[in-house]
Amino acid sequence: MLDGYIIAYLNLDEVIRIIREEDDAKASLIAAFSLTDVQAEAILNMRLRSLRKLEEIELRTEHKALTEEKSHLEALLASERKQWGEIARQIGELKKDYGQDTEIGRRRTSFSGVSDVDLDEVATSMIEREPITVILSEKGWIRAIKGHTTEIDEKGFKTGDRLKLMVHAQTTDKLLLLSTGGKVHTLGGDKLPGGRSQGEPVRLMVDIEEGQDLVDLFVYRPGRKRVIASRKGDGFVVAEDELIANTRKGKQVLNVSGTEEAKLIVPVEGDMVAVIGENRKLLVFGIDQLPEMGRGKGVRLQKYKDGGLSDLKTFAASAGLTWTDSSGRTYSKSMADLGEWVAERATAGRQPPTGFPRNNRFTG
């Protein structure tokens, strides 16, 4: 543009004549002075009186400065050594202006202790808290529906798939998943795909080993404890604080080997444990007979000749043991009623009371 202005200044009278007299002034300017389209447009956009006031010395001075800057920038682009040299020079200038010895750079505050901050709590505080219903399908697809609901549309699952687990949570919650390999994986409630879709495979979010499946899904509650157990009938008490995994690979909690698998992980809600095996034998013992661990195989819960563990429930001795049959009827037995089933851990147990579900689970 400056090149164009200088040409206009040197040919001022002719430029003015073309602008006043020619029908296509832009084309005439380009033809007469070999201008570019941008140069011709810039000249035409100036007022005629501005053309008269153009000062050649000012134009050439500005043109020279821009030419030198252009050459300098092109040289920088062509040489990494010169780039670092320029960076060093600019840092040196900054030190002169803002160094600790200068008025503007001198520190004005003193150092003091900083309180400890839980980074997880900070991250959670940035998430908008909203109720969600987390849905996990039999084939391992997961999604979250806004709000808390108990009605799930079967059309929301892929062909041949169906509901496995449903959990009410908040977007700020952490969700824990136990795999048959004894590993616990962690998911953020705000990271789950929306409920309008069919969700996404859990295996895209966490690394579940080939051939393994999901056992349970639940909301993490700080300070709460759970009993984790294998199908073989080994288990222990573990704090949920010990279950949080910081990587996609998860955290190994229950040690299983060979064909053995993790069977269940239930919350501790009292001082007693009731276990029932696939052989339909019920055993009740104190939870104080189970060790509390962060990882391991655990101890034997119940003795089996055939089969393995079917279900486990914890309860308060003062409240007694309750279960629900397939018809929705609730049964309750006090500790006095359970006398013949109370024994030491790792014993065989006895046939359950009348009315106990035929599926050998505490919920029919």
For 51-65, how does the pLDDT look when each residue is reduced to its tens digit (9 = 90+)?
A: 556 666 777 888 899
pLDDT tier at 46, thresholds 50, 70, 90: confident
Q: Under a CB-based contact definition with an 8 Å cutoff, are residues 180 and 250 in contact?
A: no
Where are the domain boundaries for CATH 1.10.268.10 in the chain?
A: 2-88
pLDDT value for 143:
93
Q: C-alpha angle 54/56/61, rounded to 5°?
A: 115
Q: Under a CB-based contact definition with an 8 Å cutoff, are residues 193 and 143 in contact?
A: yes
Q: Which residues contact 241 (CB under 8 A, 6 or more apart)?
A: 222, 223
Q: What Rg, from alpha-carbon coordinates, does the chain have?
A: 39
Q: Is it the case that residue 297 has pLDDT exceeding 90?
A: yes
Mean pLDDT of the chain: 90
Q: Is it the case that residue 323 has pLDDT exceeding 80?
A: yes
Q: Work out the average pLDDT over 118-138.
A: 82
DSSP class per residue in 164-188: EEEEEEETT-EEEEEETTSEEEEEE
pLDDT tier at 364, thresholds 50, 70, 90: low
Query: Residue 129's CB: how many other CB atoms inside 10 A?
Result: 12
How far is Cα of residue 124 from the mean position of the Cα atoms in its chain? 11
pLDDT value for 1:
87
Q: Which residues is 225 bridged to in the sheet?
A: 239
Q: Is 143 exposed, middle or buried (0-12, 13-18, 19+ CB in 10 A)?
A: buried
pLDDT value for 159:
87
Where are the domain boundaries for CATH 2.120.10.90 in the chain?
A: 221-364
Correct CATH for 221-364 of 2.30.110.10, 2.30.130.10, 2.40.110.10, 2.120.10.90: 2.120.10.90
Q: Is it the case that residue 67 has pLDDT exceeding 70?
A: yes
Question: 311, 138, 185: which is closest to 152 by C-alpha?
Answer: 138
Q: Work out the average pLDDT over 248-260.
A: 94
> Of residues 23 and 347, which shows the higher confidence score?
347
For domain 2-88, give the fold: Topoisomerase; domain 3 (1.10.268)
- Of all helices (H) and strands (E), which one includes residue 38? helix 37-44
Q: What is the pLDDT of residues 179-236, one digit of tens each?
A: 999 999 999 999 999 877 788 999 999 999 999 999 999 999 999 999 999 999 999 9
Q: Is it the case that residue 114 has pLDDT exceeding 70?
A: no
Q: Is it the case that residue 361 has pLDDT exceeding 80?
A: yes
